[in-house]
Structure 1
Amino acid sequence: MQICSVSVEGFRCLADVAGVPVLSQTILTGQNEGGKTALLDALNFLLHGTALSEHDLTYVGDGDLQEPEGDTAALHARVPQTVVTGSFSLNAEEQLRLELPEQVRIRRRFRPEAGMFLEVHRRVCQDPQLRDLAAVKLPGLKELAAVHGVEPVGQASARNSWEQPLRALAQQLKQVDAWVPAASEVAAALPTMVYFKGDSVQAPEAVIQSLLNSRLREYTRADEVAKRVTDLEGYLAESLKEDIDSIRSHIAQRCTLPSVELAPQVQVRPTLVGVELNVLDSQGRRFPLSSAGTGRSRRISLALWESSNELLGQHDATQTPESDVLFVYDEPDTHLDYSHQRRIMALLQLQSSRPNARVIVATHSLNLIDGVDISSVVHLRTQEGRVRAEVLSEDSADKDVRRHLSTIATTLGFRNSVLLHERFFVAVEGVSETSAFPILFRKHAGFPIQSAGICLWAGGSNEGALRFARFLKDHGRDVAFVVDKDSRTNQRHVFRDDKLKEHGFDLKQECLYLGSPNELEDLFTNDDWAETANALWRPNAERGPWQPQEIEELRAGKFSSHLLDLLKGGSPEGPKNKEDLMVGIAAHLAQDRIPAALSTVFDALVSRAQDAGPHLW
């Protein structure tokens, strides 16, 4: 059983976070105190039933509670319960054994006054009394049979004689989809979660305990071990018989009741309560690891994480298929240098490559965030006091769309961290602009273009660039275009007016045009070009320096192409392409010689960036 997504209600800062995908490899990012650790703990609660308290419930405002009118006393109460719901996929053997469909939802609830409940959403009989017959005692089964006119199919003293016909009746009656208590077999089939918390970097004992507990749970699932555990539970329940009889008779006597039924439910769940880890020094002396220093503890913890993939990959031949496992890391990169972070990245790739494993990592590390596909990143953002999950997709359920958008982002050179955190995306036509603009912008503004919150990218003739720009805009990112004036009508250019309008962009508000009259290169004067060319590309001696008048004569046609041909032909050191041309003049030009039209565009971009985002996807 593999987990595919998780939703959380009423747990710490996660008042209502829905549909967080759990992929083969998921990177969980977000601000401090933004809910990353809470989401991981919620997963632990769902899969392992870790104990919660009233302090884990979410405080909400007046508007979040749906109370009857006049019930003002409850308006400032806590959310009454925590609910963590997972979407799971089952293999064919599990579907047959658990009588569940391929996709199923399972949730765990907690209420302080009532405790913890594990439930599954499935097709059941509309009559609630006929749903969980396994939990009904023999007298109760007889009462239900009498109500529904059902006769036993065997000996009247045998439980199955009554339960079997009642189950058959339940199948014949109207069926509905409802949340019902999950059977112990469903609970046992949940994935094993191996939780490596951030503080485990300082405590390798905690890592070992987590690993061995996971293996212990796997061993407990084996048929032979499960039978022994069941026999032990039966033996312990039988051992309580005399104590139960004493309690029953005491209650009956004190409360004047004719009869009292009391059935013990004994559950044995083996668990590792602690681990003692000692090391030996070079003289063979034995001492606790805690006194060996934090550096050694961190190295041992990392080694343990690496060993977990092999350890949890082992399974007995009788266990078919191999148990599913979820590896969870809470800021594993804390206090680690880049080389050790690379080891962690390799570890995550290895673990997520296992068909029965999934990996989820909460981190602030840009190395880890940028080291995976953008479609694997889930960003938790706090807005108006509520945590929301951002995922790069038009439809988080559509894997093909996710993959396509991810491919476009990669093609355009976007880092994951840029897509998550930048406020303002500015599309230009090509590499000439992306290379020259940062140089010219810094000379004009006095600071780098990145520090203004502007992400510059070259769309070129890539049709996908327009679709991706539209996607950014539709999901709350601010987008603008800076294009040559001749692009507005040139059929060879993707950033022409009809294409921009077709993708929903406002030509007046979101498009800035450059050129005098046609393109960026036009903006620079003849003197600027001649001075730059003579200084950088040194003309042939026989032809002599380039003159401003030569430059002027080129403006009648396609200026940038003619200029490039002139400078390439006049010097063996001349620019090789338009990118060389623009980077050369951008680097050589003095700050006070930057064209006024270009300065106006830069000022407009800074103003837009100041008012931009960040927004939710």
Structure 2
Amino acid sequence: MQICSVSVEGFRCLASITDVPVLPQTVLTGQNEGGKSALLDALNFLLHGTALSERDLTYVGDGIVQEPASDGDTVAPHARVPQTAVTGEFILSTDEQQHFALPERVQIRRRFRPEAGTFLEIRRRVCQNPELRDLESVKLPGLKELAATHGVEPVGQANARNSWEQPLRELAQQMDKVDAWVAADSEIAAAMPSMVYFKGDSVQAPEAVVQSLLNSRLREYTRADEVVKRVADLEDYLADSLTPDIDSIRGHIAQRCALPSVELDPQVQVRPALVGVELNIVDSQGRRFPLSSAGTGRSRRISLALWESSNDLGQHDATQGPDADVVFVYDEPDTHLDYSHQRRIMTLIQLQSSRPNARVIVATHSLNLIDGVDISSVVHLRTHEGQVRAEVLSEDSADVDVRRHLSTIATTLGFRNSVLLHERFFVAVEGVSETSAFPIMFRKHAGFPIQSAGICLWAGGSNEGALRFAKFLKEHGRDVAFVVDKDSRTNQKRAFRDDKLKEHGFDLTKECLYLGSPNELEDLFTNDDWAETANALWKPNAERGAWQPGEIEELRAGKFSSQLLDMFKTGSAEGPQNKEDLMVGIAAHLAKDRIPAALSAIFDSLVNRAQNAGPHLW
């Protein structure tokens, strides 16, 4: 059973967050106190039933959450109670579908209410009548009462449980069915994936890492048929051992309360758990001492080695069959680790997530880890108007093909994941000439780097995907603008021409800035600018004299940039080899006061728009 998404309601800062994808490799990002650790703890509660308290509840407004009515579809307005609910969507294997009589995808949730405790429930097709849903948990007298209510006769001995339960089950099968939340039995609980939880502060406490690893293995061992039988026998033995005490209590109640009879049926449950681990170090001289006295440096190295060893344990899990699904969770694993050790963590994550029975979730602030995975694997948690929201790079987070396509475009355009998540303003230009020269001239003009203004500059070129991606960014709350050569507006070979921009929903008057005097970026620089730059950077060949403004003026009658490049390239052994070299040369050589006024005006406009831009929710 593999988990593919999780929803959380009423847990700490997560008042309500839905359908957070759990992929083979998932990276959680977001601000401090933004819900990353809370989401991981909620997942731990769902999969392992970790103990909660009233302090874990979310209190928003009146601090109460409506409880679904018994049919699972309507809401009972009078039943309003504070609670935590964590719901997962799971994919079942073929064998699990047959064994549990369930579809391929099911929802399982765990709820907590302070006055009532914890409940594990599954949403499934059940009898419309709630009284006939959970017959196996009803005592024999209760079965007899249900049979009398529904006019059902026993099919065997009147004192045999099955004589009453069987006809009631047959009656339930004949009634209408509804989708509703019902109690999940122990087999469902045992089939849920185990979770190995590595917290960042465990770098200082490797014992906690060992305990998490071994507890995961212990849970796997307790699923074996032989162990299940032994545990059941032990539970029966312990329950029988309580018989004299039960008889004494029953007799005392009956006597004191004048009751004819009192039934008392104890439910004994044995769940093996590793309650602690002692980790000691033996040095080269055979001296034994606790790890806590070995120093933080050694503790960090040991913790990282333990995380890596978890992969070997998981590989062993994979040989045990479909029940060995596991979720590896890392909460800020980069804490206290240098870059080389972060690279080891990245390698470990890649290795673990490649296994078919594993999921890996990493909560981190590290740009190295964020940028080291596919953007479609990143889930960004952002606080908006007091509520935590999950952002995923996808037009439909359930559509894997769309998500993969958008990821491919982002990679093609050279976007880093951290840029897509955090930049406020995306400015598309036509090619590498602009992306290379603009940052140089912008810094001279503004006095600070273009990235510091929150501007992400990217080259779209003739890539049709660039327009689609720009449209996607705009539709999902990102501010986008285009800086386009004037001669591109009607050029059918250019992707950023007017008709294509309009087709993709862009406003030419507000979202497009045009360069050229009259046609393109190179036109903006004077003849003197070009001549001075060429004489300084691209010395003319010996047979000709210095570059003159007059000969540059003659080139403006045709395709200026192409003719300019050809003249400098052929007329100098050191000449530029392409338009990028041409523009970088003049951008680097000219002083601030020589930057064309039209280009300075565009830079000022971009800065102003960036200050008023996002970041927005996807």
Q: In structure 1, give the amino acid aligned to 2:495.
A: V
Cα shift at 1:151? 2.6
For residue 512 of structure 1, what is the aligned residue in structure 2? 513
Distance 2:234 2:467 in 1: 66
Cα shift at 1:311? 1.4
Q: CA RMSD, aligned part only?
A: 1.4
Alpha-carbon deviations, 1:83-139, whole Å to 9, x = none? 100000000111111221110000000010111000000000000010011101111
Distance 1:567 1:283 in 2: 73
Cα shift at 1:198? 1.2
Cα shift at 1:62? 4.9
CA contact (8 A) 1:484 1:519 kept: yes
Cα shift at 1:66? 7.1
Match for 1:124 among 123, 126, 130?
126
Distance 2:558 2:402 in 1: 43
Distance 1:535 1:578 in 2: 17
For residue 375 of structure 2, what is the aligned residue in structure 1? 374
Cα shift at 1:200? 0.7
Match for 2:284 among 276, 282, 285?
282
Query: 2:421 matched to 1:411?
Result: no
For residue 578 of structure 2, what is the aligned residue in structure 1? 577
Correspondences of 1:254-293 after superposition (within 5 Å): 254-293=256-295
Correspondences of 1:516-535 after superposition (within 5 Å): 516-535=517-536
Alpha-carbon deviations, 1:559-598, whole Å to 9, x = none? 1011111111111221111111100100111110000000
Compared with structure 1, are the counterparts of its residues 65 and 177 closer, same or farther at alpha carbon in structure 2 (3 Å cutoff)?
closer
Q: In structure 1, give the amino acid aligned to 2:42.
A: A
Query: 2:369 matched to 1:357?
Result: no
Distance 2:542 2:64 in 1: 81
Correspondences of 1:156-555 after superposition (within 5 Å): 156-315=158-317, 319-555=320-556
Cα shift at 1:248? 1.6
CA contact (8 A) 2:66 2:81 kept: no
Runs of 4+ in 1 over 4 A off after TM superposition: 62-67
Distance 2:119 2:63 in 1: 27
CA contact (8 A) 2:474 2:480 kept: yes
Distance 1:420 1:355 in 2: 28
CA contact (8 A) 2:3 2:88 kept: yes
For residue 39 of structure 1, what is the aligned residue in structure 2? 39
Cα shift at 1:186? 0.5
Compared with structure 1, are the counterparts of its residues 501 and 315 closer, same or farther at alpha carbon in structure 2 (3 Å cutoff)?
closer
Aligned residue for 2:473, secondary structure, equals helix
CA contact (8 A) 1:10 1:79 kept: no
Distance 2:315 2:256 in 1: 57
Cα shift at 1:205? 0.5
For residue 145 of structure 1, what is the aligned residue in structure 2? 147
For residue 71 of structure 2, what is the aligned residue in structure 1? none
Q: In structure 1, give the amino acid aligned to 2:452.
A: S
Alpha-carbon deviations, 1:280-319, whole Å to 9, x = none? 12221111000000110110000000001111321497x4
Q: In structure 1, give the amino acid aligned to 2:479.
A: D
Give the TM-score taking structure 1 as reference length. 0.96
Compared with structure 1, are the counterparts of its residues 79 and 446 closer, same or farther at alpha carbon in structure 2 (3 Å cutoff)?
farther
Cα shift at 1:322? 4.6
What count of residue pairs does the alignment treat as equivalent? 606
Distance 2:289 2:375 in 1: 45
Cα shift at 1:152? 2.6
CA contact (8 A) 2:128 2:176 kept: yes
Cα shift at 1:391? 0.6
Distance 1:200 1:597 in 2: 56
Alpha-carbon deviations, 1:118-169, whole Å to 9, x = none? 0000000000010011101111112212222223333332222222222122
Distance 1:575 1:64 in 2: 69
Distance 2:506 2:423 in 1: 20
Aligned residue for 1:568, secondary structure, equals helix
CA contact (8 A) 2:214 2:274 kept: yes
Distance 1:246 1:131 in 2: 34
Q: In structure 2, give the amino acid aligned to 1:435.
A: S
Distance 2:38 2:137 in 1: 33
Aligned residue for 2:398, secondary structure, equals coil
Distance 2:157 2:174 in 1: 23
Alpha-carbon deviations, 1:185-205, whole Å to 9, x = none? 101111000000111100111
Match for 1:109 among 108, 111, 114?
111
Cα shift at 1:65? 6.6
Aligned residue for 1:560, secondary structure, equals helix
Aligned residue for 2:262, secondary structure, equals coil
Aligned residue for 2:222, secondary structure, equals helix
Distance 1:403 1:14 in 2: 28
Aligned residue for 1:221, secondary structure, equals coil
Alpha-carbon deviations, 1:205-248, whole Å to 9, x = none? 11111111111110000001001111111111111111112212
Q: In structure 1, give the amino acid aligned to 2:494.
A: H
Distance 1:79 1:342 in 2: 46
Alpha-carbon deviations, 1:416-464, whole Å to 9, x = none? 0000000000000000000000000001001100000000000000111
Distance 1:199 1:541 in 2: 69
Alpha-carbon deviations, 1:318-343, whole Å to 9, x = none? x4325100000000010101100000
CA contact (8 A) 1:60 1:79 kept: no
Distance 1:34 1:559 in 2: 53
Alpha-carbon deviations, 1:261-298, whole Å to 9, x = none? 21111111000010011111222111100000011011
Cα shift at 1:612? 0.5
Distance 2:287 2:17 in 1: 52
Q: In structure 1, give the amino acid aligned to 2:333.
A: P
For residue 25 of structure 1, what is the aligned residue in structure 2? 25
Q: In structure 2, give the amino acid aligned to 1:420.
A: L
Unaligned runs of 5+ in 2: 68-79
Cα shift at 1:79? 6.7
Q: In structure 1, give the amino acid aligned to 2:17.
A: V
Q: In structure 2, give the amino acid aligned to 1:345.
A: M
Distance 2:211 2:250 in 1: 41
Distance 1:37 1:561 in 2: 56
Distance 2:160 2:59 in 1: 50
Give the TM-score taking structure 2 as reference length. 0.96
Greater shift after overlay, 514-523 or 254-263?
254-263
Compared with structure 1, are the counterparts of its residues 63 and 475 closer, same or farther at alpha carbon in structure 2 (3 Å cutoff)?
farther
Distance 1:63 1:220 in 2: 39
Alpha-carbon deviations, 1:398-428, whole Å to 9, x = none? 1010000000000000000000000000000
Distance 1:321 1:359 in 2: 17
Q: In structure 2, give the amino acid aligned to 1:257.
A: L
Cα shift at 1:520? 0.3
Aligned residue for 1:169, secondary structure, equals helix
For residue 72 of structure 1, what is the aligned residue in structure 2? none
Distance 2:486 2:256 in 1: 96
Distance 2:605 2:220 in 1: 61
Alpha-carbon deviations, 1:362-386, whole Å to 9, x = none? 0000000000000000011111211
Unaligned runs of 5+ in 1: 68-77
For residue 70 of structure 1, what is the aligned residue in structure 2? none
Query: 2:100 matched to 1:98?
Result: yes
Cα shift at 1:7? 0.5
CA contact (8 A) 2:191 2:323 kept: no
Compared with structure 1, are the counterparts of its residues 79 and 572 closer, same or farther at alpha carbon in structure 2 (3 Å cutoff)?
farther
For residue 559 of structure 1, what is the aligned residue in structure 2? 560
